[in-house]
Amino acid sequence: MDGGEDPCGEISENGSSCSISVHSISYTVSERTGPWWDVQSYYKKWTRQILRDVSFYMESGQIMAILGNSGSGKTTLLDAISGRIGHKGTLLGEIYVNGSQLKKEQFKDCFSYVLQHDNLLPYLTVRETLTYTAMLSLQRHSKEAIRKKVSVTV
Residue ranges binding ligand ATP (CB under 6 A): 29, 50, 68, 70-76, 88-89, 116
Using rule CB under 5 A, residue 19 touches Mg ion: no
Cβ distance to ligand ATP smaller for residue 70 or 139:
70
What is the distance of C-alpha 152 from the center of its chain?
20
Cβ distance to Mg ion smaller for residue 116 or 142:
116
With the CA atoms of 148, 8, 116 and 81 taken in that order, what torsion angle do they form, in degrees rounded to the nearest 10?
180
Using rule CB under 5 A, residue 26 touches Mg ion: no
Q: How far is the CB of 71 from Mg ion (least distance, A)?
A: 8
Environment class of residue 93 by beta-carbon count within 10 Å: exposed (0-12), middle (13-18) or buried (19+)?
middle
Cβ distance to ligand ATP smaller for residue 115 or 124:
115
Q: Which of residues 74-103 bind Mg ion (CB under 5 A)?
A: 75
Instruction: Please count the residues of this chain forming the interface with Mg ion, following the rule CB under 5 A.
Output: 1
Long-range contacts of 112-120 (CB under 8 A, 24+ apart): 112/82, 112/137, 113/78, 113/82, 116/75
Q: How many CB atoms lie within 10 A of CB 94?
A: 13
Residues that bind Mg ion (CB under 5 A): 75
